Amino acid sequence: MDHKIKSANEAAEKIIEWGVSQGLTTCFERAEKMKPCPIGETGACCKVCHMGPCRLVGANAEEEARGVCGANVSTIAARNFLRMVAAGTAAHSDHGRSMVLTLLAVGEGKTDDYSIKDPEKLLRMAAILEIPVDGKEIKEVARLVALKLLEDFNRIEGKLNYARRAPQKTRDRWKKWGIEPRSVDREVVEAMHRTHMGVDHDPDHLLLGALKTSLADGWAGSMISTDVSDVLFGTPKPVQAQASFGIFKEDHVNLVVHGHEPTLAESIVDVVSEPELVEYAKSKGAKGINLGGMCCTANEVLMRHGIPTSGSFTNQEPSIMTGLVDAVCVDVQCIMPAIVELSKKFHTKVVSTSEKAMTKGAVHIAFDEHHAKESARKIVRLAIDNYSNRTKNGKYVASDKAPLIAGFSHEYIEYMQGGKWRASFRPLNDAIMAGRIRGIVGLVGCDNPRLPASGYFKTLALEFIKQDVLVVTTGCGAAVYGAAGYLTPETAREHAGPGLQEVCEAIGIPPILHMGSCVDNSRILTVASAMAAEGGLSDEIGGMPAVGIAPEWMSEKAIAIACYFAASGVPVIFGGGQSPVAASKEVTDIMTRVWYERFLGCLHFEKDPEKVISLALEYIDKARAALKLKKYEPGRFGTERVLMDMAARRDIGKAAKPHVGL
Ligand code: NFS
C-alpha cells in the first residue's frame, strides 16, 4: 500500500491535491499535522475527574503506574472503552428512537407526510412483539408496534423485546454472563455511572458492561431503526445506481443529503420531482434538480431509491471542492464541522436541520417530521436559489463515477435464494458446507484519513473474494466499494475465486453485497440468526465461519457495533490505527481470549492488513473444522443442492403467494 497517497479513491485524491494547490485543507492535511496523543491513543489517559487528567506511562506502567485515585491502566483503559461504547450506542439508538417516533406519528394520524410502505413487514414485527392484529387497521397496528418498540428504549427492568430474535443458544450465553440488556437508556446511563470516578474498577466487569450496553444497540436501537425505516420507506431490493463525484451534474441544481436519519432525506426524495420545484429550478437556468447522498444517509436513499452517492466519510470535503454542490443538507453524526468553513470558499450552503446538531455558520432550517415535506421544500428551494451563485471554482471530472448494485436487505437475500415460494437460507448454508463459499466477512465501518483512505477496504475485499469468501458491507465501506466499481456482478467474474464466482453467477449478484447504512449492520445479525435457524452450520451465531472487520474505523459507533457482534458470537477485527486499549495487556487479553471462550466472538485490533486477512481466514477455517465441514480447497466442492437460477425462480414465482415468514 502506498502510504504517500492520501486517499486510495483516485477521484478523491485528484481533488485533494488540487485543493492543496489552492491552499485549501482537508481532513487529510489536518491528520498529518495533528498527530494522535500517544497516551490517550492507547487508552492510558484518564480524564473522568479533575484530579487529573492522569497519564499512566513508563516502562512498567501496567504494573506500577496509578492515577491520583489509585486506578491502574487496566481500569482506565476499560473505563474509556465502555464510555466509547455508551456514546456509540446512544448515537445509533437516538436515531432509532426518532424512527419509532415517526412511526408513532403515522399511527396516531399526526402526519400525512409519511405512510406505511411495507405493511407486511409491520405485521411481521407485530408478530415478533406478540401484538394481536386481527381486525385492526394498519395505522392502529403501527401505533401499537411503535409504543411497544419504545419500551426497548426506556424499560427500567426486564429484557429487550427484540432480543428474542437472537438464537436461543446465543441468548443463553448472554444470560450466563449477565449481559442481557434491559433497555437502551438504562444501559447507557448505567455505563456512564459505572465509569464515573470511583465506581466500577474491575476491567473484566467493565468490559462485560460494554458488551451489555452494545447489545442494546445491536438488538434494539439499530435493529429497530432498520426495521422501522423499512416499514416507513420500503424494504430495499436490488437497485442500480452510481457512485463518486461524477454523480454531480454541471447543468443541474445539486443537492446533497448527508448524515444518518432517513426521515428528512426521504421527504426530499418525495418533493424533489414536484413540478413546481422543477419549474422553479428551470426558471433559474438549471435543467433540473439532482439529488445525491453522502455517508449513511446516502446508503439509506441509495438502498431504497437508487439515489447516487458521492461517497464515504472522507469524501465530504472533496464533494464540496467539486464546486458543483449548491447545498449540503445535514442532520446528525459524522458531519465534519470543517465543511462549513470550506463551503465559504465555494458557493455551497451547508444546511443544518436537527435541533440536536448545530454548527456555527451553517444555515439552520429546523426539520419537523410532522411537517416534513414543508421543511424539505424549503431546503430544495434554498439549493435552487443558490444555483446562480455558482462560480467556475472547483475540481470536477464528469467521468469519475462507477455503476453499482445496492439494496441487499436480509429479506431480499432470503428471497434471492429461492424466490417467493421457497425463500430460505438453505442454498447459502449448503454452499458454505460444500466449500463453494469458504465463509462470510463483513467489511464495514468508516474510512479514515490517517490511512490511505479506502485503501485497506479495497485490498481486503479483493483478497477475500479471491479466496471464495462472500463479503457483505455497510456504512462507509459500502460507499467505498461503490465508488471503486466493486458492487457489480462483473466483479465476481474478474476477481472472485471459482466457488464464489459460481454462486454469484447462478444468482446474478455481486460478490460484495451492499446491505445498507451502519444501523443496518443489524441486517447482518438477522441473516446470521436465520442461517443458524436453517441448520447445517452452527445452531447459534457463534461458531459460524464468519468474521466482522472494520479496516479503517474511527467512530465510537464502530466500537459499539464491534462489541455487539462480539457478544453475539462473531470474531471482529479492527484494522488501521492503534488499539484504544493497547496500554493494557489485561484488557487486550479479555477482549480477545476471554470473550472468545465465553461468547465465540471477540475483538482484535490489528494494524497490518496482511495479518487482518490471515487472522480472519484462521477464524473461518477454525469454525469450518469445528463444524466438521469439508476443508476449503479452491475449486473443489462437496455435493450440495443446486442454487436456483433466475429462470427456475421465475417459474416458482408464478405460483407464489406473498412471503410473510421471518
Ligand atoms: Ni458508520 Fe455512518 Fe461512515 Fe463511520 Fe460515520 S457515516 S454510522 S460511523 S464514518 S461508517
In tens, the pLDDT along 518-528 reads: 999 999 999 99
pLDDT at 525: 97
Residue 646 has pLDDT above 80, yes or no: no
Residue the block writes with cell 394520524 = 109
Same fold, 73-233 and 419-626: no
Model pLDDT, residue 419: 75
Which three cell numbers mark 577? 490505527
- Residue of the CA atom closest to atom 7 of ligand 1: 518
Judge if the beta carbon of residue 19 lies within 6 A of ligand 1.
no
Atom of ligand 1 nearest to the CA of 91: 7
- For residues 119 and 155, is the Cβ–Cβ distance under 8 A? no
Look at 126-130, 286-290, 353-357, 638-642 and tell me which has the smallest mean pLDDT. Answer: 638-642
User: What pLDDT band is residue 509 in, cutting at 50, 70 and 90?
Assistant: very high
The whole-angstrom separation of Cα 330 and Cα 522 is 23
pLDDT of 651: 52
Cβ of 560 closer than 6 Å to ligand 1, yes or no, is: no
Q: Is the CB of 476 under 6 A from ligand 1?
A: yes
Mutate to test the pocket of ligand 1, among 317, 334, 336 (most ligand atoms within 8 A of CB): 334
**CATH code of domain 73-233:** 1.20.1270.30
Domain 419-626 has CATH 3.30.40.10: no
Best residue for ligand 1 mutational test, from 27, 84, 456, 518 (most atoms within 8 Å of Cβ): 518
584 contacts: CB under 8 Å, gap ≥ 6? 43, 44, 62, 73, 74, 76, 77, 78, 203
The burial of 64, by beta-carbon neighbours within 10 Å (0-12 exposed, 13-18 middle, 19 or more buried), is given as: exposed
- Grid cell, residue 432, equals 458454505
Average predicted confidence (pLDDT) for the chain: 95
Contact 356, 332 (CB under 8 A): yes
Indicate if ligand 1 lies below 6 Å from the C-beta of 91. Answer: no
Ligand 1 center from residue 309 Cα (angstroms): 14
- Cα of 106 vs centre of ligand 1, distance in Å, is 28
Question: Where does the pLDDT of residue 417 fall: very low under 50, low under 70, confident under 90, or very high at 90 and above?
Answer: confident
Closest residue to atom 9 of ligand 1, CA basis: 446
DSSP β-ladder status, 253-258 and 571-574: unpaired
Average pLDDT over residues 455-461: 97
Q: Which of 224, 228, 209, 85 is nearest to 152 (CA)?
A: 224
How far, CA to CA in Å, does 387 sit from each of 285, 290, 350? 8, 12, 14
- Between 3.40.50.2030, 1.10.630.10, 3.30.930.10, 3.40.140.10, what CATH number should domain 245-387 receive? 3.40.50.2030
Q: Does pLDDT of 652 surpass 60?
A: no
Give Cα 493 to chain centroid, integer Å. 27
Residue 637's pLDDT is: 85
Which ligand 1 atom is nearest residue 518's CA?
A: 7
Mean pLDDT in residue range 505-531? 96
**Domain map of the chain by residue range?**
10-64, 73-233, 245-387, 419-626
Provide φ and ψ at 337, rounded to 5°: -60, -25
**pLDDT tens digits, residue range 354-402?**
999 999 999 999 998 889 999 999 999 999 999 999 999 999 999 999 9
- Ligand 1 midpoint to CA 348 (Å): 23
Is a pLDDT exceeding 70 seen at residue 639? no
Strands (E), 148-258: 239-243, 253-258
Arithmetic mean of pLDDT, 194-223:
98
Q: What is the DSSP letter of 354?
A: B
> Is the CB of residue 331 less than 8 Å from the CB of residue 264?
yes
Mutate to test the pocket of ligand 1, among 89, 549, 557 (most ligand atoms within 8 A of CB): 557
Residue 242's DSSP bridge partners are 403
Cis peptide before 53 (omega within 30 of 0): yes
pLDDT tens digits for range 170-186: 999 999 999 999 999 99
Return the C-alpha cell found at 144.
401499537
Three cell numbers, residue 440: 462470510
pLDDT(654) > 90: no
Edge to edge, the sheet with strand 602-605 lists: 512-514, 469-473, 439-443, 546-550, 571-574, 602-605
Give strand pairing partners of 258.
Answer: 294, 330
Q: Which residue would you say has higher pLDDT here, 635 or 625?
A: 625
Rounding to the nearest 10 degrees, give the CA dihedral for residues 255, 260, 264, 266.
Answer: 80
Q: Is 581 in the pocket of ligand 1 (CB under 6 A)?
A: no
Share of the chain above pLDDT 70, in %: 96
34-60 average pLDDT score:
96
Grid cell in block for residue 402: 462507477
